[in-house]
Amino acid sequence: MIKLNKKKSGILILWISLFMLFTFLVFYIIGNNSNYLVKNIFKNISLILIILSIIGFVIGLIIIIKNRNHKSLGKVKICIISIIIALYMIGCSTFLYILYGSFNGFRDWLITTAMATMRHQYYCKWFYNDNQIKEVLDNNFIDDKGMETDPSLVNHEKVTDYKDEYEKAILDRKDNELYKVINFEVNGCKAYLGVVYDASKIKVGYSKWLGRSGQYVYDMAKEQGSVLTINGGGFLDPGHNTKGENPVGITIANGKIITNRSLEGSSYGLIGFNEDNTLVLLHNVTGESALEMGVRDAVTMAPFLIVNGKPAFTKGNGGWGYAARTAIGQRKDGIVLFLVIDSNHTRTKGASMKDLVEIMQRYGAVNAANLDGGTSSAMVENGTMINDPIDSVGRHRTRGIPTVFNVIP
């Protein structure tokens, strides 16, 4: 049995007290902001343990002072353990500062990103209460209310003059080239811009098991004869465990209504092409009214990013956080833009709604809309997945979805 002198005992009490103090201080502060992760009873227990830790710290300090002439632990041991304890204290303090300090970047990122998902909203609820979440969402949003396209603003007239490098990248085209893909980066993540020169070749495709199961984008692309495909609209997922079988809202393919859930009073909008091959973005419509307006192919998603050359009002990061994204847009000359942006391997980066608006404006879109994102985001070229979707546990894979936009020669 190891016998410790009083000074050694005092040092151990001091170390243990500091460790307990910072550990339970973290739990207490988290519990004081949200009882989702740290329940009230554990928060109260943490407070008691914090008080006991402070008492223990004082006792340990008194013991050390009273026995300062006694033999202590070796200097090397004291130094190593003290450094470890100090690093732990710094780590706890930094963690709390990131969560609740004056710098709001992490808080805004976590809340807007988590709340934009269907499955992972609890990530931010672990640390923040409803009022804090509401405050962040009120300061980070995109507003497309009342915005609908005027198809006449897209004249489909060929542009020959390059105004900048982005225009040049779009308009430099090989003879009879139907499309091309431009690669670049957004926030350190890979991005892919499909440039489709003939909008009449763009069609909505949908899962052959619609209502029972979604399909992978590359399977739909191959089966439907597409040379370039991106994922389409959103889908219903009330239990967070569906197979992507039921699209939200309205789906129209080749002039036929495939699904018809009215968008009247909904925050979702209809995104598709009319018989003049112009991208139309519509609110408060039914499948029948959309057909009367000449819509031939469309899916449902939100928000609209640019309408009639005017960007949607964006505050903060746009309120949807940062994630893998898919968007569709059209220039005044009729050229269509398919945009897919990957997340990184930890799914902590990607693009915000504000990023999508800026990219679409940069490449000359007069109308643009967000499509489904996250694990759904995918671009397939000639049967090959060219981006790198990542699921919620870091696996490099996409998921079954209900609808896509195809380019069919």
pLDDT digits (tens, 9 = 90+) for 189-230: 999 999 999 999 999 999 999 999 999 999 999 999 999 999
Q: Say yes or no: 166 and 313 in one domain.
A: yes
* Mean pLDDT in residue range 398-404: 92
Kindly indicate the confidence band of residue 395, based on its pLDDT and cuts at 50, 70 and 90: low
**In the prediction, which pLDDT does 171 show?**
94
Residue 383 in any domain: the answer is yes
Residue range 357-394, pLDDT digits in tens: 999 999 999 999 999 998 899 999 999 999 988 765 55
Return the H-helix or E-strand segment holding 43: helix 40-66
Q: Say yes or no: 295 and 357 in one domain.
A: yes
**In the prediction, which pLDDT does 253 show?**
98
Q: Say yes or no: 165 and 85 in one domain.
A: no
* Mean pLDDT in residue range 305-313: 95
Question: Which segments of 140-282 are extended strands (E)?
Answer: 141-143, 179-186, 189-196, 202-206, 228-231, 250-253, 256-260, 269-274, 279-282
Q: Say yes or no: 95 and 157 in one domain.
A: no
Using the 3D structure, point to which of 45, 80, 103 is the last residue of a domain. 103
Question: Which residue is listed with tokens 């009230």?
Answer: 40
Q: Say yes or no: 20 and 155 in one domain.
A: no
Backbone angles phi, psi at 362, to 5 degrees: -60, -40
Residue 125 in any domain: the answer is no
**In the prediction, which pLDDT does 93 show?**
97
Of the listed ranges 2-6, 249-253, 355-359, 396-400, the one predicted with least confidence: 2-6
Residue 115 in any domain: the answer is no
Burial 160-169 (b: 16+ CB within 10 A, else e): eeeeeebbeb
Edge-to-edge order in the sheet of strand 202-206: 202-206, 403-407, 228-231, 379-381, 384-385
> How many domains in the chain?
2
* Mean pLDDT in residue range 60-65: 88
**In the prediction, which pLDDT does 77 show?**
82
Instruction: For residues 10 and 176, give the distance between their C-alpha atoms in angstroms, rounded to a whole number.
Output: 83
**In the prediction, which pLDDT does 167 show?**
94
Q: Say yes or no: 177 and 281 in one domain.
A: yes
Q: What residues make up the domain containing 283?
A: 142-407
Q: Say yes or no: 257 and 327 in one domain.
A: yes
According to DSSP, residue 185 is labeled: E
Q: Say yes or no: 205 and 63 in one domain.
A: no
**In the prediction, which pLDDT does 1 show?**
40
Question: Which residue is listed with tokens 């981006």?
Answer: 387
Residue 56 in any domain: the answer is yes
* Mean pLDDT in residue range 328-354: 89
* Mean pLDDT in residue range 154-169: 90
- For residue 273 the two structure tokens come to 């092409």
- For residue 379 the two structure tokens come to 């671009």
End-to-end CA distance of the chain: 83
Residue 338 in any domain: the answer is yes
Residue 126 in any domain: the answer is no
Using the 3D structure, point to which of 54, 86, 103 is the last residue of a domain. 103
Q: Which residue has the higher pLDDT, 67 or 285?
A: 285
State the chain's mean pLDDT as an integer. 91
* Mean pLDDT in residue range 312-316: 91
Q: Say yes or no: 150 and 69 in one domain.
A: no
The half-sphere exposure of 315 on its side-chain side, counting CA atoms within 13 A, is: 9
Q: Say yes or no: 251 and 154 in one domain.
A: yes
Instruction: For residues 228 and 258, give the distance between their C-alpha atoms in angstroms, rounded to a whole number.
Output: 22
**In the prediction, which pLDDT does 276 show?**
97
Instruction: For residues 132 and 358, give the distance between their C-alpha atoms in angstroms, rounded to a whole number.
Output: 28
- For residue 205 the two structure tokens come to 């495709």
Residue 61 in any domain: the answer is yes
Of the listed ranges 15-29, 89-103, 230-244, the one predicted with least confidence: 230-244
Selection from 194, 126, 257 nearest residue 406 by Cα: 194
Selection from 353, 327, 95 nearest residue 232 by Cα: 327
Question: Which segments of 57-139 are extended strands (E)?
Answer: none
- For residue 90 the two structure tokens come to 């710094």
**In the prediction, which pLDDT does 243 show?**
85
Residue range 253-284, pLDDT digits in tens: 999 999 998 888 888 999 999 999 999 999 99
Kindly indicate the confidence band of residue 345, based on its pLDDT and cuts at 50, 70 and 90: low
Residue 134 in any domain: the answer is no
Give the rounded percent of residues in the chain with a pLDDT score beyond 70: 94
Kindly indicate the confidence band of residue 4, based on its pLDDT and cuts at 50, 70 and 90: low
Using the 3D structure, point to which of 85, 103, 121 is the last residue of a domain. 103
Residue range 65-107, pLDDT digits in tens: 888 766 655 677 888 888 999 999 999 999 999 999 998 899 9
Count Cβ atoms within 10 A of the Cβ of residue 303 and give its class: 0-12 exposed, 13-18 middle, 19 or more buried: buried
